[in-house]
C-alpha cells in the first residue's frame, strides 16, 4: 500500500494531468460521434436507400481494431491528438448510429398517426413525438460509445496524445505493478463515472422532454 501512497504524494500533478487528458480526448471523441452518428441515423430513417450504405460503411470501420486505425493514420496525420481522436471517433460512431436508427424505427405508428391527426407538421412531430421517444435508444448508444472510448483511449498513449495509457505503458516498460494497477483502476473508475453522469443526463432530458 505504501508504494501507492508514495506515487500520489510524488506524482499527483502528473496523475491529474493524465486524467484530464484522458477525459478530454474521450469527451471530444464521443461528442464528435454524436454529431456524426445522430444525423446519419436520422438520414437512414428519411432515406432508406442510403441506410444500407451508411450502416455498412460504419459497421466495416468498427471491426477494424483501434490500434490498426492508429497505425494507418500516423503516416497521414503524424503522432499526437489528431489520429487518436480520429480512431476513437471511428470506434464511437457505430453504436450511436445504430441505436439512433433503431430508436426512430421503434416509434409506434399510432403515435405518428395521432400527431398527424391533431395537426402537427413534420417539424413539430419530429421534435415533440419522434425524437423524445427515440431518445432512450440514442442515450443507450452514447453510453455504449462512451464506455468503449474511455477504455480504448489508453491506446492513444502509443502515439503521444497522453492520458492514463501513459501510466499503464510506463508500468509495463518499467515493470512497476503499482503503475498498472493505478492506471487500470482509474480507467475503470472513469468509465463508471461516465455511465453515471450520462444516466443523470438521460433522466433529466427525458423529464423535460415529455
Integer Cα distance of 17 and 155 in angstroms: 17
**Grid coordinates given for 169:** 505503458
**Grid coordinates given for 54:** 451508411
76-120 pLDDT, tens digit per residue, is 777 777 888 888 888 889 899 989 988 988 888 888 888 888 878
How much of the chain, in percent, has pLDDT values that exceed 70? Answer: 95
Averaged pLDDT for residues 26-45 = 91
CA distances 182 to 7, 128, 148, 164, Å, are 9, 46, 19, 9
**Grid coordinates given for 109:** 405508428
Integer Cα distance of 54 and 174 in angstroms: 44
Integer Cα distance of 177 and 191 in angstroms: 21
* CATH code for position 17: 1.10.3720.10
Task: Count how many domains the chain has.
Answer: 1
* Range(s) of the domain holding residue 203: 2-209
Among the residue ranges 32-36, 44-48, 98-102, the one predicted with the least confidence is 44-48
Integer Cα distance of 79 and 55 in angstroms: 29
113-142 pLDDT, tens digit per residue, is 888 888 788 888 888 888 888 888 999 999
CA distances 173 to 45, 65, 132, 157, 160, Å, are 49, 23, 49, 13, 15
How many Cα atoms within 13 Å fall on the side-chain side of residue 164? 25
Average pLDDT, the chain: 84
151: nearest Cα among 94, 178, 190 = 190
Rg (CA), the chain: 20
149-169 pLDDT, tens digit per residue, is 998 888 777 777 778 888 888
Amino acid at each position: 500500500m505504501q508504494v501507492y501512497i508514495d506515487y500520489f504524494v510524488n506524482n499527483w500533478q502528473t496523475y491529474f494531468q493524465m486524467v484530464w487528458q484522458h477525459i478530454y480526448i474521450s469527451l471530444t471523441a464521443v461528442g464528435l460521434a454524436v454529431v456524426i452518428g445522430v444525423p446519419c441515423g436520422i438520414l437512414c430513417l428519411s432515406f432508406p436507400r442510403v441506410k444500407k450504405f451508411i450502416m455498412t460503411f460504419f459497421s466495416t470501420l468498427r471491426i477494424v481494431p483501434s490500434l490498426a486505425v492508429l497505425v494507418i493514420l500516423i503516416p497521414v496525420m503524424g503522432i499526437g491528438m489528431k489520429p487518436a481522436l480520429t480512431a476513437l471517433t471511428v470506434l464511437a460512431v457505430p453504436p450511436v448510429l445504430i441505436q439512433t436508427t433503431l430508436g426512430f424505427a421503434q416509434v409506434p405508428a399510432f403515435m405518428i398517426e395521432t400527431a398527424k391527426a391533431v395537426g402537427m407538421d413534420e417539424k413539430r412531430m419530429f421534435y415533440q413525438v419522434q425524437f423524445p421517444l427515440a431518445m432512450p435508444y440514442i442515450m443507450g448508444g452514447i453510453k455504449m460509445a462512451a464506455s468503449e472510448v474511455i477504455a480504448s483511449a489508453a491506446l492513444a498513449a502509443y502515439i503521444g496524445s497522453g492520458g492514463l495509457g501513459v501510466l499503464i505503458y510506463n508500468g509495463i516498460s518499467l515493470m512497476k505493478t503499482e503503475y498498472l494497477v493505478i492506471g487500470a483502476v482509474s480507467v475503470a473508475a472513469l468509465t463508471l463515472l461516465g455511465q453515471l453522469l450520462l444516466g443523470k443526463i438521460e433522466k433529466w432530458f427525458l423529464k423535460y422532454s415529455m
